[in-house]
Amino acid sequence: MSLLTGTPTEVVLSLINQQNTLPVPITEENLYFGAARFAPDGVTTILPVTAQLGGQYEGYANLTYKRLNLSQIYDVAPIISDVGGPTLYSMLDIVNRNLGMNFTQNDVTDTNVAYVGAGEQVNITVAALPGSVGYAGSFFFRFIRLRVTFSVAVKNTELNALVYPGHPDVTDSKVNVSMMMWDHDFSADLTSLKLNGNTWASQTAVANLMKDFGINDWPAPAVNGVTDYATSNYPGSNTNFQRVTVQKLVNGSTYAGDALFHYNLS
């Protein structure tokens, strides 16, 4: 669980809205944060904010509050064992997950750890940027670099075959009719593709069209087995065309799948 409910910027915005009666909620879209700095007491933070141009507000204000002091968070240096990354910035998600923080690149300085090899360890200092909205000070954690052996991590090396979506079972050894027809333009064949409800007006006309694909035994559709769609409404269709008429669950001697008759209206 994170020590903060969001990033420091999100938390400060939430506090502004909670503690003030505002006509319009303050967001990152209508408020610009300057660089935070310490007041003369060395404890209180002064955060200048300015209304974004063209927004609901104008002018500026100085917010005062106390930032989290990283030097006082951990009594004992935390330990993180992970594959990690080459820099602190590249592994902030790992640090946040392990330490319950919400660091961003706007909060802390970066550190190079690319030189740390497998099984090696190093102390990484996390130092707040001077202008960080939410943090001040610094701390360090011990980082132990893990290297995972690929053969250990990938235990299942027998993968399923790569198949086109909706491809018939590979044991059928049948041509996928959806793939076969996917880029064919039937715009000149709309007379043959006329529907009578959810079936072909002329089964013979459609069967003759399929002879161009070397198919001489095109089956009649199942009951309510043919439907016309805008291609944007039919997943897997070719959206280079406007519409597609689909004869579903075709199963022939050497082919199977959903037949896609793509066409344009003009």
Note the pLDDT of residue 48.
94
Within 10 A of 26 (CB to CB), how many other CB atoms are there?
20
- Asked if residue 167 lies in contact with residue 250, where contact means CB atoms within 8 angstroms, the answer is no
Q: 3-class DSSP state for residue 170?
A: helix
Both tokens assigned to 150: 């690929």
DSSP class of 211 = G
What is the rounded CA–CA span in Å between residue 8 and residue 31? 15
What is the rounded CA–CA span in Å between residue 174 and residue 253? 8
Among candidate residues 162, 198, 199, the one with its CA nearest the CA of residue 179: 162
- Asked if residue 238 lies in contact with residue 182, where contact means CB atoms within 8 angstroms, the answer is yes
More confidently predicted of 206 and 168: 206
In tens, the pLDDT along 233-252 reads 999 899 999 999 999 999 89
Burial of 23 (0-12, 13-18, 19+ CB in 10 A): exposed
In tens, the pLDDT along 69-113 reads 999 988 999 999 999 999 999 999 999 999 999 999 999 999 999
Burial of 245 (0-12, 13-18, 19+ CB in 10 A): buried
| Cα-based torsion angle of the residue sequence 71, 10, 131, 86 in order, rounded to the nearest 10 degrees | 70
- Asked if residue 136 lies in contact with residue 66, where contact means CB atoms within 8 angstroms, the answer is no
- Asked if residue 236 lies in contact with residue 166, where contact means CB atoms within 8 angstroms, the answer is yes
Cα-to-chain-centroid distance, residue 234: 23
- Asked if residue 75 lies in contact with residue 139, where contact means CB atoms within 8 angstroms, the answer is no
What is the rounded CA–CA span in Å between residue 77 and residue 123? 9
In tens, the pLDDT along 21-70 reads 989 999 988 899 999 999 999 999 999 999 988 888 899 999 999 999 99
169 pLDDT higher than 70: no
